Structures are given as C-alpha cells and as structure tokens.
Structure 1
Amino acid sequence: MRKIKANRRQPIYMSLNKPKSNSQLMTVKNLTDKSADLYIYGEIVDNTDWKWDEADVMPDDVLNVLNQMEGLESINMYINSPGGSVFAGLTIYNMLKRNKAYKNAYIDGIGASMASILPFAADKVYIPSNAFLMIHKPWVFSMGNSNDLRKTADDLDSIEAGLVKIYEENLKEGVEIDTIKQMMADETWLNGEEAAKYFNIEVIEAKNIAACSSEILERYDKTPHKLLQSKSEPANETPPQSESFDKIKFQNELDLLDL
C-alpha cells in the first residue's frame, strides 16, 4: 500500500476489490416538455471514473440530467440517500438551486446527513410520515500533528456554519437556530411528523419505500433500528477482507469528509 501524506484529503485506490465503473445510471424519468422526475437514490460521492456502487450519485450525474431538463417548468426530486461527501453534496445542492424550474422535493425513505441538505434546494419539500430526516455535525477521518488537527477542526467549523445557514433559511417560524445546532451535535433522526415541526416541510401520506441500503447507516450512532433491519444483504457477498481494508474503503466512499 502506498503511503498517504498526513492530513491530505485524497481518494485512496485499492486493488483488493475492483470498483464499478461510472456508468451514469442516473436518468431523467417521465420527461415531458414541461416537467421531469429526478431520483437521488444512493450515496453522494465525488466525481471519479468509478463508483463503489452503481447507485452512487456524483455531481456529474446530476449535471448530466439537468442538461436534459433545460427549460422545463418544473422538476420533481425524489430522495432516498444516507448522505456522503459534503463537497459533492454542496455542489449538487448549488446546481439544483440555480436551476430555474419550480422544484418539488420528496424525501421517499431517508434524507440523512448530507442528503438532508439536498431537499432544501427545492421550492417545496414533502416527506411521508414514515420517512426520516437526519442531521448531524460534519466529521472527518484525519491524520497529522497538532497543527494539522487544529486546522481540520477549524475547517469543520467553517463547513458546519455553511450548512447551518441552509437549515436556518428553511426553519419553521418560531424555531431557533440554536435548537438545530444542538440537534446536529446530538445526531438527530426525525420522522416526517417531527421534521415538519422544525422545517418548512409538508407531511404527506406514508409510503412503503425501503430505505437506501448502505453501510453508512451502520456507522451512524443513532440510526433507527428498523432502518438497519430493512437493509437487504446482497447475494454472495464477499466476506470482509480486514478491518484495515474496511476503514480504507469507508474513507474512500466518503472522500474523507462527510456530513
């Protein structure tokens, strides 16, 4: 294994398992001359030439479909994601926010971590009563000396401030932003009814949609047990190679910095 310079945030490539190619599976559905549907149903990852899973969503994927949607009057966004790279997520958020179409966002299963930010790029946000929104502080795997780690902590504070601003812009009247900051510090999972108490989100009828299957859900501290139970195990799954490999794969999936 090649050495990684301390405190560098860069992809780590391993030859133990071959990742899947970037097949651009994200597609525009129900496209008409006035509207279209966009599905974000996987982990949010940075742009690369490959993906750990074909359901992963990169900024380039979203850019590709938005180019197909140019000039539409409305876009329906369907989100079922455990989160992922904070920088990739912010890029996707800004691209969606800039799009001139009227946007409806639907949190179908979970909008966790960085995926809790994406719905707020829309003009109107809907969540079924049995779906989940999860917010928490950004976190990172890091190496280095004391100066490096202090710099990393300062960077995380700056990133958190930007995310807090997005939440603040979408708060229910009367909700204090300090309440949201504490909820982020505690890693808070909100079902549809609870999310609507804090954010400008409309609760809709419950739907039977399975939460996005992802190893990330197992690494959050307070993931609702029923979400972990709903994960489907892939057939003929290769046993874990080693604890070290698992950590490296996890770092790469999140590009070392995730919300």
Structure 2
Amino acid sequence: MKKINLKGDVVSNSTGKLLDWCDFDSIYPAKVQNALDNLNGEDVEVTMTTNGGSVFAGQEIYDIIKNYSGKTTLKISGLVASIGTLITCAFDEVLISPVATFMIHNPTLAEVSGEKKDMEQAAQLLSTVENTILEAYVAKTGLDKEGLSELMANQTFMTAQEVIDYGFADGLAKEEETELQLVASFETLANTSFITKLKSMKEKEERDLAEARLRFLHLKGEK
C-alpha cells in the first residue's frame, strides 16, 4: 500500500503552487490529483493534518479522492478541522490517532460587503455550502441532518473516541514508531527555508549586478 502525507491549509491550486515555492505545507487539488495519478490505482494510505481553508478547494479534493479507483484509507493526525473534515468523508476507511482532534463548524465568508442584495446572495451561498457539507456528513456517519447541523452551529471539537462514536471515523489508528525532529515549530522550519530561498535570490541578483558593472567598466576601458 502506498503512503501519502497531506499537511497544511486547504488552498486553491494557484495559492498552493506559490506556497510550494516558499516551502510551506499546503493541500490543494492539483497536488492531490497528481499524487493519486502516480499510484495507478493502487491502494493508498493518506495521513492528514489540516486547519481547513478554502471550501471550494476542499470540495474538489473530496471529489478527486471519492473517484479514485483504488481503496483509500485515511489516518487523521493532529488536528483536522473545518473543510478538512469534509475531505475525510471521501475516504473508504478513516482511522484516527488517539490524540487527534476533529472540529466541525458552519462555513463562513471572510469578507462580505455591499448592499442588501449582496448580503442576501452571501447568505444563500453559505446556506448552499452548509447543505452540501451536511450531505457528505450524513452519507459518512448515517446521522440525521438536524443533529449534525447543530454540531456545526456549536463549532464542535471532538476527541478521537467521539469522532468514532459519531461515525466520522471507523476506528483508532495503530501507533507506529515515528522519527522525532527537535525543532521549535513548523513555522520555524518554513520561515527558515523561506528566508534561505530569499537570501539565495538576493545573492544571485547582487552577483549579476556586479558582473554587469564589470562588463560596463571593461567596455568603458576599451574605448
């Protein structure tokens, strides 16, 4: 069985490619599609940690996983929240770490402005998105929509056992030996890599500028 790790915010393809360039973790449709395409239908085990992110990117990822020909197994690690919980519903089997956290809530719009018509359209969009997510939750858990809607409205955080009891996961993931990394945080790693890349770009720019000056002086000296 092949293994894939997905970690970071759920974002659009364009944002994800930019974050890749900066060495930041992210989850986006093209990344998931490419990873699965390379497996040629083999069974796959995915470990995922995410705070959530873009609803529409998450919906696209849900469809990509749902339509994969091989068996898909998910291991929930750390925190899986927001639209990340929709993605979990696409897998054939879902296992959760005993120390993981799962959070569901109502969808939100980061920025909304305009007249009454714009507010009504925003409310309609949120209602549509909420119902779409609820349908996936119902299909996965077998719970009634009203109860799930209440859990979303209350921004519910769940322990691993609660996730299993509600039906979002099928069981606990087996503990495996993991290699420990002595680092302060993911942000430290990402920022260090990002700064290193920027420094490399700056140094190249300075070298190119110095070489241009030398060529200019050389040409000037020949006149």
Shared fold (TM-score, shorter chain, > 0.5): yes
C-alpha separation between the residues in 1 aligned to 2:115 and 2:32?
37
Q: Secondary structure at the residue paired with 2:44?
A: strand
Tell me the alpha carbon deviations over residues 216-247 of structure 1, each in whole angstroms, 9 at most, x when there is no partner. xxxxxxxxxxxxxx96652797xxxxxxxxxx
Figure out how many residues of one structure are paired with residues of the other and give that number: 181
Contact 1:130 1:207 survives alignment (8 Å)? no
Q: Aligned match of 1:70 in 24, 40, 46? A: 40
Q: Identity, % of aligned pairs?
A: 24
Corresponding residue of 1:152:
122
Q: Aligned match of 1:169 in 133, 136, 139? A: 139
Q: Which amino acid aligns with 1:121?
A: A
TM superposition shift of 1:69: 1.1
Corresponding residue of 2:188:
234
Contact 1:131 1:206 survives alignment (8 Å)? no
Q: Which amino acid aligns with 1:135?
A: I
Judging changes above 3 Å, is the alpha-carbon distance between structure 1 residues 113 and 53 closer, same or farther for their aligned structure 2 residues? Answer: farther
Judging changes above 3 Å, is the alpha-carbon distance between structure 1 residues 189 and 235 closer, same or farther for their aligned structure 2 residues? Answer: same
Q: In the alignment, does 2:100 pair up with 1:131?
A: yes
Stretches (4+) displaced over 6 A:
none
Instruction: Note the residue ranges of structure 1 that are not aligned, 5 or more in a row.
Output: 1-34, 210-229, 238-259
TM-score with structure 2 setting the length: 0.74
Q: Secondary structure at the residue paired with 2:27?
A: coil
Q: Which amino acid aligns with 2:119?
A: L
Q: Secondary structure at the residue paired with 1:121?
A: coil
Corresponding residue of 2:51:
82
Q: In the alignment, does 2:149 pair up with 1:195?
A: no
Q: Aligned match of 2:6 in 31, 40, 46? A: 40
Instruction: Note the residue ranges of structure 2 that are not aligned, 5 or more in a row.
Output: 178-183, 192-223
- After superposition, the CA RMSD in angstroms is 2.5
Q: Which has the larger radius of gyration?
A: 2
C-alpha separation between the residues in 1 aligned to 2:102 and 2:172?
14
Corresponding residue of 2:24:
54
Q: Secondary structure at the residue paired with 1:70?
A: coil
TM-score with structure 1 setting the length: 0.64
C-alpha separation between the residues in 2 aligned to 1:71 and 1:206?
24
Corresponding residue of 1:103:
72
Contact 1:135 1:189 survives alignment (8 Å)? yes
